[in-house]
């Protein structure tokens, strides 16, 4: 039987976004504060996912051996390093999160049965690489606060309560929504990025965060005048709002994850996004 195992590691390092072929103004325009000398640092968190068969000892691999491999091949080199100069790959292509994840894969692949590399630059920004050439994914996290009421206008209050429970109460209720937006594309051979991070964050802010934040979704967002704003429907609508802005940045929207509360979340794979559900025939929404 095959099993996926995961090993976590950490390293602290600095990097600088700077292309010598650009002027100082050109670098500032492209990379913002990331271009400032002498660079800036992060506490990186690395997750190495491996796939294999269980051996006679009930393990895919001895995790003590995995720990040594990750240290010898990756973290001993990168910890407390200036990434732009530590490995040849980072002199050719800037050490953006996506590119670092790809290079770590290349360093570990001869030694471990890799399935996935995830590298967190911080808790709201991470890249995933699965060995697919230059393709990777980048995820940014953000949040908004909003209220909503779950109720169908053609049903009585009692009938809505049977479907949505406390969420059908007339004056609604609120959440601090956490939103994760994942894009996919090829890593640029010079910048090491899938997409301009500042432009991506701006697109998410303009299309979603500013319109949604501190609103009563049913009343302030015209779309939800006829669509029940369940977490699922909100996520689908967000995916529709972001498809074109992200395409214009040269990437593709891959996944939307909306966390309504510590207990409730939903994910939308954007390659197969459906229309939001107008009726509640297949909803099973529990009160938070």
pLDDT of residue 254: 97
Q: Give yes or no: residues 256 and 187 share one domain.
A: yes
Say which residue, 271 or 190, is predicted with more confidence: 190
* pLDDT of 236 higher than 50: yes
Q: Round the average pLDDT of the chain to a whole number and report it.
A: 93
pLDDT of residue 285: 35
* pLDDT of 287 higher than 60: no
Host domain of residue 283: 134-288
Looking at 84, 111, 131, the residue that finishes a domain is: 131
pLDDT of residue 273: 52
Looking at 105, 131, 157, the residue that finishes a domain is: 131
* pLDDT of 284 higher than 80: no
Q: Give yes or no: residues 107 and 154 share one domain.
A: no
Q: Give yes or no: residues 193 and 224 share one domain.
A: yes
Q: Give yes or no: residues 64 and 139 share one domain.
A: no
Please tell me which residue in 15, 42, 167, 270 is annotated as part of the active site.
167
- CATH at residue 196: 3.30.479.10
* pLDDT of 283 higher than 50: no
Structure tokens at 10: 């950490």
Q: Which residue has the tokens 């292309």?
A: 19
Say which residue, 287 or 63, is predicted with more confidence: 63
pLDDT tier at 274, thresholds 50, 70, 90: low
State the total domains in the chain: 2
Does residue 210 have an active-site annotation? Answer: no
Global confidence as pTM: 0.90
Helix H or strand E encompassing 25? helix 24-31
Q: Give yes or no: residues 142 and 49 share one domain.
A: no
DSSP codes joined into one string, 138-167: EEEEEEEEEEE----TTS-HHHHHHHHGGG
Q: Give yes or no: residues 85 and 219 share one domain.
A: no
* pLDDT of 7 higher than 80: yes
pLDDT of residue 1: 81
Q: Give yes or no: residues 81 and 186 share one domain.
A: no
d(CA 83, CA 60): 32
Q: Give yes or no: residues 81 and 201 share one domain.
A: no
Nearest to 49 by CA among 100, 118, 136: 118
Contact criterion met (CB below 8 Å) for 138 and 253? no
Residue % of the chain over a pLDDT of 90: 93
Does residue 167 have an active-site annotation? Answer: yes
pLDDT of residue 281: 32
Q: Which residue has the tokens 């996926």?
A: 4
Burial-class residue 161 by CB neighbours within 10 Å (0-12, 13-18, 19+): middle
Residue % of the chain over a pLDDT of 70: 94
Q: Mean pLDDT across the stretch 261-284?
A: 66
Does residue 214 have an active-site annotation? Answer: yes
pLDDT digits (tens, 9 = 90+) for 91-128: 999 999 999 999 999 999 999 999 999 999 999 999 99
Please tell me which residue in 10, 214, 244, 275 is annotated as part of the active site.
214
Q: Give yes or no: residues 274 and 147 share one domain.
A: yes
Burial-class residue 20 by CB neighbours within 10 Å (0-12, 13-18, 19+): exposed
pLDDT digits (tens, 9 = 90+) for 145-177: 999 999 999 999 999 999 999 999 999 999 999
Please tell me which residue in 98, 180, 232, 260 is annotated as part of the active site.
260
Q: Give yes or no: residues 152 and 244 share one domain.
A: yes
pLDDT digits (tens, 9 = 90+) for 17-72: 999 999 999 999 999 999 999 999 999 999 999 999 999 999 999 999 999 999 99
pLDDT of residue 275: 56
Q: What angle do CA 13, 16, 18 make, to 5 degrees?
A: 160
Phi, psi of 125 (to 5 degrees): -155, 120
Looking at 96, 131, 166, the residue that finishes a domain is: 131
Helix (H, G, I), strand (E, B) or coil at 93: coil
Q: Give yes or no: residues 277 and 288 share one domain.
A: yes
Q: Which residues contact 14 (CB under 8 A, 6 or more apart)?
A: 38, 39, 40, 41, 42, 81, 82, 83
pLDDT tier at 279, thresholds 50, 70, 90: very low
Q: Give yes or no: residues 238 and 285 share one domain.
A: yes
């Amino acid at each position: 039987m095959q099993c996926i195992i995961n090993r976590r590691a950490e390293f602290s390092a600095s990097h600088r976004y700077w292309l010598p072929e650009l002027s100082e103004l050109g670098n500032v325009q492209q990379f913002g504060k990331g271009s400032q000398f002498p660079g800036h640092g992060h506490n990186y968190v690395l997750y190495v996912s491996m796939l294999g068969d269980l051996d006679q000892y009930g393990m895919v691999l001895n995790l003590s051996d995995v720990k040594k491999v990750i240290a010898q091949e990756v973290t001993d080199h990168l910890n407390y390093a200036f990434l732009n100069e530590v490995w040849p790959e980072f002199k050719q292509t800037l050490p953006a999160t996506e590119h670092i994840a790809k290079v770590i894969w290349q360093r570990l692949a001869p030694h471990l049965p890799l399935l996935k590399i995830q590298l967190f630059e911080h808790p709201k920004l991470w890249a995933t690489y699965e060995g697919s050439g230059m393709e990777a994914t980048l995820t940014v996290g953000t949040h908004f606060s909003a209220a909503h009421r779950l109720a169908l206008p053609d049903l009585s209050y009692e009938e809505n309560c049977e479907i949505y429970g406390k969420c059908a109460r007339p004056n609604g209720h609120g959440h601090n929504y956490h939103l994760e937006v994942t894009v996919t594309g090829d890593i640029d051979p010079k910048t090491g990025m899938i997409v301009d991070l500042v432009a991506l964050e701006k697109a998410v802010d303009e299309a979603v965060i500013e319109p949604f934040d501190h609103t009563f979704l049913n009343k302030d967002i015209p779309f939800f005048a006829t669509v029940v704003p369940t977490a699922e429907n909100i996520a689908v609508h967000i995916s529709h709002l972001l498809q074109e802005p992200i395409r214009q940045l040269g990437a593709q929207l891959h996944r939307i994850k909306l966390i309504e509360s510590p207990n409730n979340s939903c994910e939308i794979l954007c390659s197969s996004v459906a229309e939001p559900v107008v009726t509640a025939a297949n909803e099973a929404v529990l009160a938070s």
